Structure 1
Amino acid sequence: MKKKLVVIGFVGSQLDNGRGSARWEKWRPTVALAQQEDVLIDRIELLYNGSFGPVARQVKEDIATVSPHTLVNTHDVPISDAWDFEDVYSRLFDFAHSYPFDPDKEDYWIHITTGTHVVQICMFLMTEARYLPGCLLQTAPPRRQGPGSPGSYTLIDLDLSRYDQIAQRYSAVQKEGVAFLKSGIATRNPRFNLMIDEIEHVAVRSRAPMLLMGPTGAGKSFLARRVFELKKARHQLDGSFVEINCATLHGDGAGSTLFGHVKGAFTGAAADRPGLLRTAHKGLLFLDEIGELGMDEQAMLLKAVEEKRFLPMGGDHEVKSDFQLIAGTNRDLAQEVAAGRFREDLYARINLWTYALPGLTGRPEDIEPNLDYLLAQFGAEHGALVRFNKEAREHFMRFAVSPEARWSGNFRDLSASVTRMATLAESGRITTAVASAEIERLQRQWRTLAPSPPGGHILEETMGAEAAARLDLFDRLQLQAVLEVCRQSKSMSDAGRKLFAVSRESKAKPNDADRLRKYLARFDLEWDHIAS
């Protein structure tokens, strides 16, 4: 069954206007549509506003004369100012929302020759967004005016995939974006390449939060900055790239660093501080190790991401900041939510676009292209070309992709390794001797960083080997974990907040420091001794 053809357009207050028999001697775009010999229009939805109702009715009568088959419906669209973008777009949106489109039975042409320039732009945008589901239609007058000359018409289908040259240009730009995110490194891991393809696609089409998961050194910070630079080059961001590792934030300083504070908010707050979220306005904020944030900061961050506003510490007035968020973590946040250490609502908000960046051992085929990239980078920075000789390269690569290579620091380890070898290279040539020495250095480094047995050195250092040996395995493991948190904290209160982050929420007046002091006393330990 052939579909009906429906044209939607505004009456032209000047172009469609005309009085008396002389009007048939001028080109009138809407009437001319019904005069096209090769087109049979079933229906015209003719929009007008306010005082132009008489023009619309005259056009309707004239179309009935030249094309009795064509039905014309007139619609009074209450636009106050046809040059006001917001007014025009909102009224057109209301029309599109209420109109009973039936694409299965009807084809729609959106006529953009008539109306103000603002009207034409809004019709284009509505069609591009598929609120008006059809093709754009442009009409043009005949080269020579005369009675019965309908001029010409052109259809513009916004499905760009149908235009070979445009599709090729878009494909080339997309490939350039992917190469930019990878810094031109010809990575070979199929899963990684597919992931970067999708990240490029999302980065240029969305401002929603991203979550980058992966071990330390997997490249989360590097990728976040490349996403920012890609969006900046496309003029999608006007602000700056702002980065903070949340593991470095503790106590009152965490809230102040992120959300800012007003003068006098706490001891030492001698002046107002804007905070990183405000600094990232119209830019991109990368919160690395977001799982390290406290529950209070998580709640404030959720409000800032959802509502683009928040309260600085000690402030009575909310401030606004419109930023895009990329979060990084080496933890499994789903498990953190289950354990009560991460807010479920914040996790749901940042979990729209989540990507797991594999470590270097998960991408062995990418070690070699990254090796070449790092050597080239070293050469550019130092003004000297550095290369492996054939035997040295083969020797190092055999080790690099073997199970013996732990790459516990991932790309940071590889970068440091290349820097050392390039620095020691004589006359710009990395020899087998240099490569062998570097392999031994890496093996020693990884042996040193191997995990200690349960309840290892920190217990002996803190309470003595004899006392540690008398502990049950249960107490040994628990105390080991507590001491590690204490060693990484600035104060007893800071350590207590981390250790009792969940249970403290149910207490009206939590005293984290006192709870920690009593626990340590069970083992005859004091904070000052641990801290020292």
Structure 2
Amino acid sequence: MDRKKLVVITLLGSTLDRGRGNGRWDRWRPTVALTQHEDLLIDRLELLYGKESYDLSDTVITDIRHASPETKVVGHIVNFEDAWDFERVYGTLHDFARAYPFDTDKEDYLVHITTGTHVAQICLFLLTESRYFPARLLQTSPGKRKDGKDASPGTYAIIDLDLSKYDRLGSRFQKEKASGQSFLKSGIDTRNRAFNELIERIEQVAIGSRAPILLTGPTGAGKSKLARRIFELKKARRQVTGEFAEVNCATLRGDAAMSALFGHVKGAFTGAVANRPGLLRKAHQGVLFLDEVGELGADEQAMLLRAIEEKVFYPMGSDREVTSDFQLITGTNRDLRARIAGGQFRDDLFARINLWTFRLPALHERTEDIPPNLDFELEQISASLRVNITMSKEARERFLRFASKWTWPGNFRDFDAAVTRMATLADGGRITERVVADEIERLRAGGSDGASPGNGAGDEKELIARALGAERAAHLDRFDRVQLEDVLAVCAGTRSLSEAGRELFAHSRAERTSVNDSDRLRKYLARFGIEFSAFQQRLTAR
């Protein structure tokens, strides 16, 4: 196979490459020296220089032909106008790179960054790093003779910008990356492969982007905690300088919602006795986390969209715009696409917050992570109570057997509460098998499963058992079970029969001349002897 030709692109050094008379051969001239290395055979040298350096370029080209007859030198006149003007220099070099006929199948390219102004060297680096120059970098330096004079040709180093090829650098960045991922997981040594891959991707996005992030998943899966950890990671990397502002949008209604998010001026409404900056301004240069973003009202959604796109908004009662530059993280346990179809959420707002979407799995989907999370919670509680909380071997094994099979409807909220109760009841700081048995009985009795109407939480199979009773649920056909599981999950996460109907029949509604979603849902539930309000009351009583 024929050797690829080696092409070097370099700027003429108006100072370093200068020299007159025979004495010029005694000094190190980087452009000429490039062609004097016996182990660096340059087939073609692309020499860039300004009009004012024409005479110098002629001398350098002549000397290169003498030093390396096999090297073809091609001169290019480039006009920087001002060699210290970054914009002009970058633009000129960018135009050269765009016009140059690179042929990477037949030629290898090096970009020499030793000559030229510091501005030009930086621009060459950036254009090579971004692959406008499909090349590696070449750096040269003079050698020294015993008499102290520069020795020709000096030394050179070829730098590949693929950092993964450098073992020490690669190891350093891998450690930094692993540290970031561990930080997002609160230092918990999680074992679930899918979850670890998810955290790895979130770490990449958190460090590499300021675009909105949408966290989805069931209630209690850890969305709020992860949002704060993302902020803290960005803060540690000096990517944000502002604060972390958060709110659960399900708690915002009417004027209070507008005021909490966008602020108000004194007198904007009854009770507005002083100016209020609002959460968006609090999050300036920081991170704003809107949990349960699907619960925002239509007016708040419209104002939030403009604030995301233009970084400006009007506080309530004010005719003067204010500015806030924040990164947005949103969370939801709702199906936002279904809410869009039902007219409850803006599709243009969804398009803006849906660039990076990550679904956090429920606890029962990652049972292998229960042991390390148990250890983490015990450490946290021990620090809080200032008592070393431990578990006997038998107690730990019994709890883990139960925990790996339990559905944990409230996910980590339920799990953390269970561990907290056991730690609180542990005599002498040691959780015994008796304490574990009592906690298991408590969970099975439904004393703390974390589900309630409107929170979207709860395992679907458990919802069927509560709606029909365990015996009837066990005798359902598989086809009916799958459909009913989904319907009951929606009913558990909505506040009324009509709201559940709109979400369930969002797509088919458009094809009907007359619409009564609540009646359709009522008739479907009646097939199984289920009444919506009675079902909601059972959930409330849990």
TM-score band (shorter)?
0.7 to 0.9
Q: 1:11 to 1:409 in 2, by over 3 A?
A: same
Residues 1:225 and 1:88: Cα distance change in structure 2 (over 3 Å): farther
What RMSD, in angstroms, separates the aligned Cα atoms of the two structures?
3.0
Per-residue CA distance 1:253-302 (angstroms, 9 max, x = gap):
32332233445544544544333222222222211111112233223323
CA distance in 1, matches of 2:17, 2:412: 67
Is 1:371 aligned to 2:370, yes or no? Answer: no
Q: CA offsets per residue over residues 37-84 of structure 1, 9 Å max, x none?
A: 2223233333345644543444334334433432222231425251x4
Partner of 1:73: 75
Cα displacement (A) at 1:221: 0.9
1:474 maps to which residue?
none
Inter-CA distance 302–52: structure 2 relative to 1 (3 Å threshold) = farther
Partners of 1:148 and 1:368 in 2: how far apart?
Answer: 65
Asked if residue 238 in structure 1 is aligned to residue 238 in structure 2, the reply is no
| Partner of residue 172, structure 2 | 169
1:149 aligns with 2:152: yes
**Cα distance, 1:450 vs structure 2:** 6.8
Seen in structure 2, the aligned counterparts of structure 1 residues 436 and 187 have a Cα distance that, compared at 3 Å, is same
296 and 88 in structure 1: CA distance in 2 versus 1, 3 angstrom threshold: farther
Equivalent-residue separation in structure 1 for 2:78 and 2:131 (angstroms): 22
Match of 2:487 in 1: none
* 1:305–1:60 Cα change, 3 Å: farther
2:246 is paired with a residue whose SS is strand
Q: Does 1:337 align with 2:340?
A: yes
TM-score, normalization by structure 1: 0.78
Q: Which residue of 1 aligns with 2:477?
A: none
Aligned with 1:204: secondary structure? Answer: helix
Tell me the residue number matched to 1:381. 384
Matched residue of 2:338: which SS? helix
Aligned to 1:488: none
Q: In structure 1, what is the equivalent of residue 480 of structure 2? A: none
> Of residues 427, 433, 446 in structure 2, which corresponds to 1:444?
446
Counterpart CA distance in 2 for 1:265 and 1:54 is: 74
Q: Is the 8 A contact 1:277 1:285 kept in 2?
A: yes
Aligned counterpart, 1:412: 413
Q: Name 1:348's counterpart in structure 2.
A: 351
Partner Cα separation in structure 2 for residue 315 and residue 99 of structure 1: 55
Corresponding residue SS for 1:427? helix
Find the aligned partners of 1:411 and 1:87 in 2 and give their Cα distance.
56
**2:287 equivalent in structure 1:** 284
8 A contact 1:408–1:446 mirrored in 2: no
Post-superposition offset of 1:386: 0.7
SS in 1 for 2:153: coil
Structure 2 partner of 1:393: 396
Structure 1: unaligned runs, 5 residues or longer: 455-476, 486-532
Cα distance in 2 between the residues matched to 1:179 and 1:447 = 29
SS at 2:305's partner residue?
Answer: helix
Alignment of 1:260 onto 2:232? no
Secondary structure at the aligned position of 2:427 is classed as coil
Runs of at least 5 residues in structure 2 that lack an aligned partner in the other structure: 455-462, 465-490, 500-542
The code of the aligned residue for 2:345 comes to: F
Cα displacement (A) at 1:349 = 2.2
**SS in structure 2 opposite 1:5?**
strand
Count residues with an aligned counterpart.
459
Query: Is contact 2:265-2:272 (8 Å) kept?
Result: yes
Q: Are 2:83 and 2:120, in contact at CA under 8 Å, matched by a contact in 1?
A: no
Deviations 1:69-106 (A, max 9, x none): 32222231425251x44554444334434433332332
Q: Which residue of structure 2 lines up, in the alignment, with residue 113 of structure 1?
A: 114
**Cross-structure match for 2:93:** 92
| Counterpart for residue 512 of structure 2 | none
User: Could you say if the C-alpha distance between residues 288 and 54 of structure 1 is closer, same or farther in structure 2, counting changes exceeding 3 Å?
Assistant: farther
Task: Determine the C-alpha separation between the residues in 1 that align with 2:354 and 2:214.
Answer: 6
The letter for the 1-side match of 2:332 is T
| Structure 1 residues 395 and 47, CA gap change in structure 2 (3 angstroms) | same
Instruction: Give the residue type in structure 2 aligned to 1:335.
Output: A
Instruction: Name the % identity.
Output: 60
Residues 26, 350 of structure 1: alpha-carbon distance in 2 compared, 3 angstrom cutoff? same
Partners of 2:265 and 2:75 in 1: CA distance: 61
Amino acid at match of 1:208: A
